[in-house]
Structure 1
Amino acid sequence: MSDKKRKVLETATKLFSELGFEKTSMALICKEAKVSKGLVYHHFESKETILIEIFTSSTLKMVELNVITDDTIEPKKELKQLINNVFFQLENDKLFFQFNLNIMFQPSTRSLLEVHIKERADILFKSVKRIFDKISIERSEILTYILLAEIDGIALNYLSVFDNYPLLKMKNELIHKYTN
C-alpha cells in the first residue's frame, strides 16, 4: 500500500471517529490528508469504499491480535492471553476502538457494513467459544456471549462514559472471573 493511500485511510479513520461518517466529507479527508481528490478517487470509488476498507482492515487487525490458534495452551491461559490482548489494544489504540464504536451506533454505517459486522462478530464468537468448549462444552455458548458482552460494555464505558475508568482493575477482574 502506498504511503498516500495509507495516509488517506488513517485520516479518514480519525475523522470518522471524531466527527462521524455522515459529517466527514471527501473534501475534508483530502484536506486533512493533504492529498488531491484525484488521488483519493484513484484509490477509492467513494467515501463508503473507504469505510469498508477501514473496517475490513480493522477486522484483520482484531483477528491477528485476539484469535489464538495454539491448541497446546491450556484454555484458562488462553483466556487470560485473550483478555490481556483486548485490554492492551483498548488502552493503546483508542482511535481504533472509537472508530468501531462510532460506526456501530450510526444507522447509516451500520447498514452499510452489516455483512462485515456480522462476519467479524462470527469470527470473534467462534474464537472465544472454541476456548470455552475446552473448559465447559455445555456452557460454552452462554459464557462466550457473556464475556463478549462484558468486553463490549467495558470498552463503551472506557471510551465514552467515564473519565477515570479503572481499566486495569476491570481487566484483572475479568481475568480472575474466567481463570479461577
Structure 2
Amino acid sequence: MNKKQQVINAATTLFSEKGFEKTSMSEICSAANVSKGLVYHHFQSKNEILEKIFSDTTEQMKNISSASGDGSPLNQLLKIIENFFAQLEKDVVTLRLNLNAMFQPSTREFLQTHINERSSILFESVKKIFDQIDLPRSSTLSFMFIAELDGIALSYLSVFDDYPLQDIKEQLLSKYQNL
C-alpha cells in the first residue's frame, strides 16, 4: 500500500472513531506513520482528505450501480440489494464515516456537491429499473427503495449493536422477488 493510501486509511478510521472535527492532522500523520510534509504533499487540508474519502465512496457506488445493469429489471434490483449488503459488511468504517459526514453541518457544507452527485447517481440508476417495472409509479417506488436502503444502513451503522443484517437482507430480497 502506498503512503497516500495509508493516510486515507488512517484518516478514515480516525474520522469514523473520533469525528472529523476532533481529529488533528498530527493524529492522522501518527496513525499513518508518515510525516506532516508527506501528508501535505498529497492533501492541502483535512477537508481535502475527507473529500477524497467521500469521492472514493461515490465511485464505489457508481460501480455498484453499473454492475447491476445486466438482466431483467427484477434481477438488476436484486443485484443492487446484494451489492448494497456486501458493501455494508465490507466497509463499515468508511460507510459510518460517510454517514456521519453527511449529517454534520460543518462537513455537509463542503461535501454537498458530492452528496448531490451520489444521490443523483443512485436515484437515476434505481429509477431506470423501476421505469421498466412500473413506469407511472417509478419515481415514488425509487424514493421508497432508496429510503429502505438508507434506513437499513443507518440502523446497522449507528443505531443497533446486534442488527440482524442477514435476516434483513433475506427479507428485502424476498420482498422484491415478489414484485
TM-score grouping bracket, smaller chain normalisation: over 0.9
Normalized per residue, the structure richer in helix is 2
Matching residue's letter, 1:161: V
Letter in 2 for 1:50: I
Q: Kindly report the root-mean-square deviation, in angstroms, between the aligned alpha carbons of the 2 structures.
A: 1.3
Q: Deviations over 1:129-165 (max 9, x none)?
A: 1111110111110111111111111111111211211
Q: State the TM-score, normalizing by the size of structure 2.
A: 0.95
Q: Which runs of 5+ in 1 are unaligned?
A: none
Length-normalised TM-score, structure 1: 0.94
Q: Distance between the aligned counterparts of 1:145 and 1:88, measured in 2?
A: 21
Q: In the alignment, is residue 102 of structure 1 matched against residue 94 of structure 2?
A: no
Tell me what 2:46 maps to.
Answer: 47
**SS of corresponding position for 1:70:** coil
CA distance in 1, matches of 2:69, 2:110: 34
Aligned to 2:149: 151
Aligned length: 178
**Is it true that 1:138 corresponds to 2:136 in the alignment?**
yes
Residues 9 and 50 of structure 1 are in contact (CA less than 8 Å); yes or no, is this contact kept in structure 2? yes
**Secondary structure in structure 1 of the residue aligned to 2:160:** coil
1-structure distance, mates of 2:29, 2:148:
38
Identity of matched residues, %: 54
1:69 deviation in Å? 5.7
Unaligned stretches of 5+ in structure 2?
none
1:23 pairs with 2:25 = no
Identify which of 122, 140, 164 aligns with 1:166.
164
On the 8 A contact 1:80/1:179 being kept in 2, the answer is yes
